[in-house]
Amino acid sequence: MSWLFVAGIVIFLIGLMLSIALHELGHLVPAKLFGVKVPHFMVGFGPTMWSCRKGETEYGIKWIPFGGYVRMIGMLPPRSNDDPGQLRKVSTGPWQSLNDTAREVSLEDVRPGDEDRVFYRKAWWQKVVIMSGGPAMNFVLAFGLFAIVLMGFGVQVSQPVIDKVNRCVIPANVQARECTAADPLSPAGAAGLRPGDRIVTFDGRKIDSGEGATRAIRAHGAGPAVVGIQRDGRAMDVNVNVIAQVVWSLDESDKFEVAGVLGFTPVKSIQQQSVGAVATHMWDLTARTAQSIVRLPEKMVGVWEAAFSGEERDKNGPIGIIGAGRIGGEIASAPMPLEARIVYLITLLAGFNLAVGVFNLIPLLPLDGGHVAGALWEGLKRGFARVTRRPTPGHVDIAKALPLTYVAAFLMIIMAGLLMYADLVNPVRLLT
């Protein structure tokens, strides 16, 4: 294990800790702004490495860098027949006992004079702002990191110019190899297209980018077409016979599709992108991340098979903190220019923040989205009561959802343990 590999892991862990701190800061700032008492602000779990107290809040770092928390008093309301600071001790069943314990823990830091500083008594919209502040900070951080990559370093963009005419067309779902007699010849070569030719139109459609040319050719499918090109300053039309072949999907990187191909490699160059391009990139990745979370149970089956059957890990599947840290080490020690390694590391951290932001918005406790959903439901109920001139309902008791919370937390622990094991015995290797 080289020192660069270790340095990559350390750099990722530092970025992870900063991301966690900013996530929790997204909760802390609005909580204090709206008058919620916050006894603890911690990055990490386990024993405390360092802490200091400023005012009523203790700020600290713990030894296990796999999360963090902001402790606000009164996250759960007392039962409707209890005083805010006093709960009855007799429970009617196991779930009620767990609920009562959670309420006691939530209210144990409430002191005389703190009655209006508990979280559950705040306006519904304030609770939404407080609990969505953490994921929002992750989104802001992801946007900033992607902006550094796309606007600062730039990205590789294909041009509508031919760099190389392939001798044959090899299906994307087979291992890279040399051309064989069974492979179809390149339609681009058969039609006389040359390196340096700029594609201006395809079958009457104007082309202004390499991606545009690829999409037009793929959408055409097999059959004859006319390619308008510029060669040595002269415009000319070339008749081609597009063939259908298995290719990687442009929209879903882990899927194949059958589409039209000509068999050439476009010229690629590094270009700085605009703010709008960063926003579009974020939107696309957010949508893909949400789709991946919906398919998480299916993906975890693949992780199980990779962990215990030795199957190859899906590079687009879920990974844990250990796996992400290992990828950071792999990137740092990869035989590539320093600039490329920096770009990969920044992109890794940006993707991690985006995934954390989306995952935390799932409307289930103990995730932030569970509290947001409860606050929105409270706002809806109170708005309906106001419109219908009914008495204002009480605060939504999200403690009633705690049984589901325990199940969700148990499943999350199982998934985290499985990912940790898979990351150790069969890790994802992005650069191999």
Q: How far apart are the first and last CA of the chain?
A: 16
User: Is the CB of residue 194 less than 8 Å from the CB of residue 165?
Assistant: yes
Cα distances (Å, whole numbers) of residue 112 to 5, 72, 107, 350, 395 = 53, 16, 12, 43, 21
24, 104, 115, 378: the active-site residue: 24
Q: Catalytic residue at 312?
A: no
Residue 222's nearest CA partner among 189, 192, 259, 185 is 259
Encode burial over 47-69: b for 16+ CB neighbours within 10 A, e otherwise. Answer: eeeeeeeeeebbbbbbeebbbbb
The Cα 369–Cα 58 span in angstroms is 25
The Cα 126–Cα 90 span in angstroms is 33
User: Is the CB of residue 188 less than 8 Å from the CB of residue 240?
Assistant: yes
Tokens of 231: 């060669």
Instruction: State phi, psi for 206 to the nearest 5 degrees.
Output: -70, 135
Question: 């392939």: which residue's tokens?
Answer: 166
Residues 6+ positions from 13 with CB-CB distance below 8 Å: 65, 325, 328
Residues 6+ positions from 422 with CB-CB distance below 8 Å: 303, 304, 306, 307, 313, 320, 323
Point out which residues pair with 91 in neighbouring strands. Answer: none
Helix (H) / strand (E) element for 341: namely helix 338-360
Cα distances (Å, whole numbers) of residue 145 to 281, 348, 356, 427 = 12, 10, 14, 25
SS3 179: coil
Sign of the torsion formed by the C-alpha atoms of 304, 309, 310 and 311: negative
The Cα 305–Cα 310 span in angstroms is 7
Per DSSP, helices labelled H in 121-270 are 124-147, 187-191, 210-220
Catalytic residues: 24
